[in-house]
Amino acid sequence: MQTSKSSQARAKYEADGFYLFSEPIIDKAVIQRAIEGMDAVRAGEYETGTPPRSSAWSPGDDPKKLCKIEMSQIANRAIMELVSQSSIGKLAAEITGAEMVQVWWVQLLYKPPVDPDGIVPTNIGWHQDRHYWQAWEAGSELLTAWVALSDVTPAAGPMKFVRGSHKWGLLDHSDFYGQDHEAQREEIEVPDGEGWEEVPAILRPGGISFHDNLAYHGSGPNLSGKPRRSFAVHLRTEKSKPVDNLRQGLTAFIDTPTHCPVIYRKT
């Protein structure tokens, strides 16, 4: 039975397309171990003996660039410990009403402070995750838990969500690596009667934001002087199915619990 508080959280998630748990919900020790694991993976040290999946960023690349590494949890036990937290699964179930929540993909995200010369871009462009997730059938219930490992202040280039945009359907324009946010906004056809309201996700270390796969989001430069550290933990519920029930690409490991753990199951 849902409490009044959880019912309110679910209603807000359904209305806005995102929900913020700004205060820490993950133990400090788990966060610290994950930070150490992040640094190890970025340095090319894989304690499990298994490297991450092929990624846009590899050890030795420009440290001033946005670092995005795919499936780093298979390379480091501390990262796996972080993404397997039952608290993440319980909160996801609370806001969606899910009976099962599984991690199906993970992205390590390390946004360095902005280059003093302004040469290296670190913005994340406006996009809908669903644009990149064509391996899943239309209508699949997919969401992301964005876990902060550092203090995500207004200066740190926080993720921003467009309130209610998950109700617009899948639109034509998404570019994760887009740097000109204003130009992107001009291309995105906002439905008649809808507005563009950006809400920043200001989070403490151990705080989490959840967002629907159709919610538009992006982020600006990190002006804090310190790296912005996070993991995007992509989740699915029982209301999801791979296209043609295939296990390939983004769905390749959903039957492999050592890669994609189930973090909540209703008893």
CA distance 110 to 42: 9
CATH number at residue 169: 2.60.120.620
Q: Which two tokens stand for residue 82?
A: 């972080």
Q: What is the pLDDT of residue 11?
A: 97
CA distance 114 to 75: 28
Q: What is the pLDDT of residue 110?
A: 97
pLDDT digits over 6-36, tens only?
889 999 999 999 999 999 999 999 999 999 9
pLDDT of 257 higher than 80:
yes
CA distance 131 to 160: 18
Q: What is the 3-state secondary structure (H, E, C) of the chain?
A: CCCHHHHHHHHHHHHHCEEEECCCCCCHHHHHHHHHHHHHHHCCCCCCCCCCECCCCCCCCCCCCCEEEECHHHCCHHHHHHHCCHHHHHHHHHHHCCCEEEEEEEEEEEECCCCCCCCCCCCEEEECHHHHCCCECCCCCEEEEEEECCCECHHHCCEEEECCHHHHCCCCCCCCCCCCHHHHHHHCCCCCCCCCCEEECCECCCCEEEEECCCCEEECCCCCCCCEEEEEEEEEECCCCEHHHCCCHHHCCCCCCCCCCEEEECC
Could you say which DSSP state residue 152 is in?
B
pLDDT of 1 higher than 60:
no
| pTM for this predicted structure | 0.96
pLDDT digits over 52-72, tens only?
999 999 999 999 999 999 999
Residue found under tokens 């959903």: 254
pLDDT digits over 113-140, tens only?
987 776 777 899 999 999 999 999 999 9
Residue span of the structural domain in which 15 resides? 4-265
The count of domains in the chain is 1
User: For residue 30, how many C-alpha atoms fall within 13 Å in the half-sphere facing its CB?
Assistant: 18
